[in-house]
């Protein structure tokens, strides 16, 4: 798939119009993205937490730039066919930066951009110390985002982080304002109980996104449970990264302890499967067609 090819499945906007639930695993690099792409999800979620960790080895605290994130969007969209929801943090600055981010993400092939109302630089939504910008400033950002896209099928996911520091009522008030400003999907971050999640779902008609972070501030529920509450989308942003980090720690630890890989070989992806995942069959087909001329 080249950088101008659209995903082969239904666009994300059509999935929502059809009334289907969107279940999106978090992806953070090309191995995680291509692994998830092969499994039939109707969306992938590019996590800023994961990009910061995998690209820089640093926390999700505003270290990644728009260049870092846009580059990762382009890479993932060029090598996968599943619609991508892409984290864009605060839009990387003010309203003019939001315009630049929306245009860049849409051109790169993402089908939805997530923007949040934290101060810049931001922090992970399931950590403490987050501060939000004035509501009027975020409403302007959302209006700019909606006006800057080329297609109405490129979705604006508007997130508020107000719950932790300012309470649920303020988060709900902001969600209503975001919907009025043109957000397509509402993301009320970090509710702290199922009861709060029920309150959120009872408040809005717009599609609602649930952020399922293992070890985070919100109860982690299944697709069936979230559907029953009234959510339309769920992201599991950390599941792949946490699994990969644990697997690496365990197999590296075994190698250090044992001096070899015999004890962990049954936990490794087969080498031929890895070759398939990274696209070696295309290289071999090229070599078979062109032979020495390829050199």
Question: Class for domain 12-239, per CATH?
Answer: alpha beta
Confidence of residue 130 (pLDDT cuts 50, 70, 90): confident
Q: How far apart are CA 231 and CA 220, in angstroms?
A: 13
CA 257 to chain centroid? 36
Q: What is the pTM of this model?
A: 0.92
Backbone angles phi, psi at 269, to 5 degrees: -65, 135
In this prediction, residue 5 carries a pLDDT of 41
In this prediction, residue 131 carries a pLDDT of 87
- % of the chain exceeding 90 in pLDDT: 87
In this prediction, residue 119 carries a pLDDT of 82
With a cut of 50, say whether residue 3 has pLDDT above it. Answer: no
Q: Are 167 and 135 in contact (CB under 8 A)?
A: no
With a cut of 70, say whether residue 39 has pLDDT above it. Answer: yes
Q: How far apart are CA 104 and CA 87, in angstroms?
A: 13
Least confident piece of the model among 61-65, 84-88, 113-117: 61-65
3-state DSSP assignment of residue 156: strand
In this prediction, residue 2 carries a pLDDT of 36
In this prediction, residue 128 carries a pLDDT of 67
Confidence of residue 227 (pLDDT cuts 50, 70, 90): very high
Average pLDDT over residues 145-159: 98
Confidence of residue 10 (pLDDT cuts 50, 70, 90): confident
Q: How far apart are CA 149 and CA 155, in angstroms?
A: 9
With a cut of 60, say whether residue 76 has pLDDT above it. Answer: yes
Q: Are 47 and 72 in contact (CB under 8 A)?
A: no
CB crowding 96-135: b at 16 or more within 10 Å, else e: ebbbebbebbbbbbbbbbbbbbbeeebbbbbeeebebbeb
β-sheet with 44-46: strand ranges across:
185-188, 155-160, 112-116, 84-87, 44-46, 22-27, 233-236, 209-211
Q: Where are the domains of the chain?
A: 12-239, 245-294
Q: Tell me what the pLDDT averaged over the chain comes to.
A: 92
Average pLDDT over residues 37-51: 95
């Amino acid at each position: 798939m080249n950088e101008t090819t659209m995903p082969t499945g239904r666009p994300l906007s059509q999935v929502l119009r059809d009334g289907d639930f969107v279940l999106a695993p978090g992806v953070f690099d090309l191995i995680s993205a291509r692994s998830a792409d092969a499994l039939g999800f109707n969306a992938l979620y590019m996590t800023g937490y994961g990009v910061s960790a995998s690209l820089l080895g640093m926390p999700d605290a505003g270290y990644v730039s728009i260049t870092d994130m846009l580059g990762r969007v382009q890479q993932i969209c060029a090598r996968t066919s599943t619609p991508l929801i892409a984290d864009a943090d605060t839009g990387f600055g003010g309203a003019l930066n939001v315009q630049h981010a929306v245009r860049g993400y849409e051109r790169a092939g993402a089908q939805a951009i997530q923007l949040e109302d934290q101060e810049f630089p931001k922090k992970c939504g399931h950590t403490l110390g987050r501060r939000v910008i004035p509501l009027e400033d975020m409403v302007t950002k959302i209006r700019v985002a909606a006006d800057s896209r080329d297609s109405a099928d490129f979705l604006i996911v508007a997130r508020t982080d107000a719950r932790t520091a300012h309470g649920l009522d303020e988060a709900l008030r902001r969600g209503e304002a975001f919907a009025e400003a043109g957000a397509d999907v509402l993301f009320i971050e970090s509710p702290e109980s199922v009861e709060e999640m029920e309150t959120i779902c009872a408040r809005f008609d717009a599609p609602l996104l649930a952020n399922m972070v293992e070890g985070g501030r919100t109860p982690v529920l299944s697709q069936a449970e979230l559907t029953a509450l009234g959510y339309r989308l769920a992201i599991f942003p950390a599941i792949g990264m946490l699994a990969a980090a644990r697997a690496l720690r365990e197999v590296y630890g075994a190698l250090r302890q044992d001096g070899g890989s015999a004890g962990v070989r049954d936990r490794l992806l087969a080498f031929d499967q890895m070759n398939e995942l990274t696209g070696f069959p295309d290289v071999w087909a090229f070599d078979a067609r062109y032979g020495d001329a390829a050199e």
